[in-house]
């Protein structure tokens, strides 16, 4: 394994990375709940503090905010999934993004970011970081490679994009973005939250991959967690006792949470494929009905071929699509009818759950964007984002969706 292997198979790699024996011979690992760790010789302690003895090299652990064995195992499994040398998990997806950007940028440095990203990431880059650290961001249409390159300045350290943008499902051309970034000695940071197993950004040259584990990877909408995957030296820098952003800002993952996430990894590929299969069937039928549907698996999607070229075999095009109902009132009405009359899914933010989750992005998870940024990103007031679940009978779900669209007058 190594970054950038063209024949990489995430399903095989993830399976090979699991060492499920617990300390008593259990088929699952034990949870290491200790916050602090002993040494046999007092001299070992200063060697760990100095970074000469590490979990990797000598199995030396110090303190759980630094490295915890259970969290470390999850990081190792996720690194195997994403074909990176190393990885570490943390308390949330936004902590993973914030820690990564702050580690790569110093005060006065600059980020070039896709203008269509999760609202929290947008607010972090547009508002919090300039105010608190002087790190500024230029937002660009990520599919316009000339605009991306033109935005790079001598102070640019990070090019940030989502593989598939939230919520507009624009596809990033990862190889082209990596080439641009590396021409200017900039790190390409990719948020792969929408596409675990489907796309492996490191294969196309991403330097750092971040995830909100809260979504598909955990899959049960019952905990908040994140991860940073990349080269071993970068992960080591995040945990540096003097300058590491994960170490010193402290968004530590609890080992019990790490265990929970790890237990959901064996069925992640099956879940991803089923989310995608169902979303694809619904979208093909929606398109035939003449509904304004956007799904990267449809040939009508402007970057359908681009995503096809980046997909791992057998994974499909993902579990998310959007419907544009034109107005906020009609979007809200559709979601109410689907939830309250047809039990099609839940009106809720987040995604990657076993049940369908639906939200009107402009008035929820993208509401941090000012109006002009919403317009530029193509997030209209009637846009409904659907994260399609994997429960129930697909034909029943289709009948409910088609009926709800008729009931709100979106189709004849
Ligand atoms: N990245 C994307 C694409 C997201 O959709 C989200 C959350 O909605 C995040 C990051 C932030 O993740 P978390 O809520 O785990 O902090």
Q: Is 224 helix (H, G, I), strand (E, B) or coil?
A: coil
Over range 70-85, report the average pLDDT.
97
For residue range 323-334, what is the model confidence (pLDDT) as tens digits?
A: 999 999 999 999
| Cα gap 15→238, rounded to integer Å | 27
Q: How confident is the model at residue 4 (pLDDT cuts 50, 70, 90)?
A: low
Over range 316-321, report the average pLDDT.
98
**122 Cα: distance to centroid of ligand 1 (angstroms):** 11
**362 Cα: distance to centroid of ligand 1 (angstroms):** 16
DSSP percent split of the chain into helix, strand, coil, nearest 5? 40, 15, 45
Q: How far is CA 234 from CA 60, 252, 371, in A?
A: 19, 17, 36
Q: Is the pLDDT of residue 287 over 50?
A: yes
Ligand 1 closest atom vs CA 96: 16
Residue 317 CB neighbours (<10 A): 25
> How do beta strands 226-230 and 208-212 pair?
antiparallel
**350 Cα: distance to centroid of ligand 1 (angstroms):** 8
CA trace torsion 215, 216, 220, 225 (10° rounding): -40
Bridge partners (DSSP) of residue 208 are 189, 230
Q: Is the pLDDT of residue 6 over 80?
A: no
Instruction: Confirm if 103 and 237 have CB atoms less than 8 A apart.
Output: yes
Residue limits of CATH 3.90.1150.10 in the chain: 267-407
For residue range 291-317, what is the model confidence (pLDDT) as tens digits?
A: 999 999 999 999 999 999 999 998 899
**338 Cα: distance to centroid of ligand 1 (angstroms):** 25
**273 Cα: distance to centroid of ligand 1 (angstroms):** 21
Over range 136-152, report the average pLDDT.
98
Over range 116-132, report the average pLDDT.
97
Over range 242-248, report the average pLDDT.
97
Domain 267-407 carries which CATH code? 3.90.1150.10
For residue range 183-226, what is the model confidence (pLDDT) as tens digits?
A: 999 999 999 999 999 999 999 999 999 999 999 999 999 999 99
Ligand 1 closest atom vs CA 215: 15
Ligand 1 closest atom vs CA 166: 3
Residue limits of CATH 3.40.640.10 in the chain: 10-266
Over range 69-85, report the average pLDDT.
97
Ligand 1: residues with CB < 6 A are: 92-94, 118, 120-121, 162, 166, 191, 193, 212, 214, 224, 226, 365
**pLDDT given at position 2:** 44
Which residue has a Cα nearest atom 12 of ligand 1?
93
Which residue has a Cα nearest atom 2 of ligand 1?
118
Which residue has a Cα nearest atom 13 of ligand 1?
93
**Closest by Cα among 171, 175, 221 to 194:** 171
Domain 10-266 carries which CATH code? 3.40.640.10
Ligand 1 closest atom vs CA 350: 8
């Amino acid at each position: 394994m190594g970054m950038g292997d063209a024949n990489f198979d995430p399903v095989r790699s993830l399976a090979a990375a699991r060492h499920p024996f617990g300390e008593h011979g259990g088929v699952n690992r034990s949870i290491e709940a200790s916050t602090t760790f002993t040494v046999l010789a007092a001299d070992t302690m200063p060697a760990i503090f100095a970074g000469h003895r590490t979990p990797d090299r000598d199995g030396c652990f110090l303190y759980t905010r630094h490295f915890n064995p259970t969290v470390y195992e999850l990081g190792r499994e996720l690194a195997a999934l994403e074909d990176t040398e190393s990885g570490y998990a943390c308390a949330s997806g936004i902590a993973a993004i914030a820690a990564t950007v702050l580690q790569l940028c110093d005060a006065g440095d600059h980020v070039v970011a896709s203008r269509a990203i999760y609202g929290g990431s947008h607010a972090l880059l547009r508002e919090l970081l300039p105010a608190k650290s002087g790190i500024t961001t230029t937002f660009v249409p990520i599919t316009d490679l000339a605009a991306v390159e033109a935005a790079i300045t001598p102070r640019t350290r990070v090019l940030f994009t989502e593989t598939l943008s939230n919520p507009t499902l624009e596809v990033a051309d990862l190889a082209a973005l990596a080439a641009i970034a590396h021409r200017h000695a900039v790190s390409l940071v990719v948020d792969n939250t929408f596409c675990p197993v489907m796309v492996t950004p490191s294969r196309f040259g991403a330097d750092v991959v971040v995830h909100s584990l809260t979504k598909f990877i955990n899959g049960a909408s019952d905990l908040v967690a994140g991860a940073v995957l990349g080269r071993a030296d970068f992960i080591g820098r995040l945990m540096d006792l003097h300058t590491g952003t994960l170490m010193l800002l402290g968004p530590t993952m609890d080992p019990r949470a790490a265990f929970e996430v790890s237990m959901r990894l064996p069925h992640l590929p099956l879940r991803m494929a089923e989310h995608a299969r169902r979303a694809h069937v619904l979208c093909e039928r929606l398109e035939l009905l003449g509904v304004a549907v956007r799904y990267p698996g449809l040939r009508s999607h402007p970057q359908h071929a681009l995503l096809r070229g980046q997909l791992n075999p057998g994974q499909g095009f993902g579990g998310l699509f959007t419907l544009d109902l034109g107005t906020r009132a009609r979007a809200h009405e559709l979601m109410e009818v689907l939830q309250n009359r047809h039990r099609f899914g839940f009106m809720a933010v987040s995604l990657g759950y076993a049940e369908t989750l639906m939200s009107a992005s402009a008035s929820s998870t993208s509401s941090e964007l000012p109006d002009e940024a919403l317009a530029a990103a193509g997030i209209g007031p009637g846009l409904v984002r659907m994260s399609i679940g994997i429960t129930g009978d697909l034909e029943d779900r289709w009948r409910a969706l088609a009926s709800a669209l008729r009931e709100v007058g979106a189709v004849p």
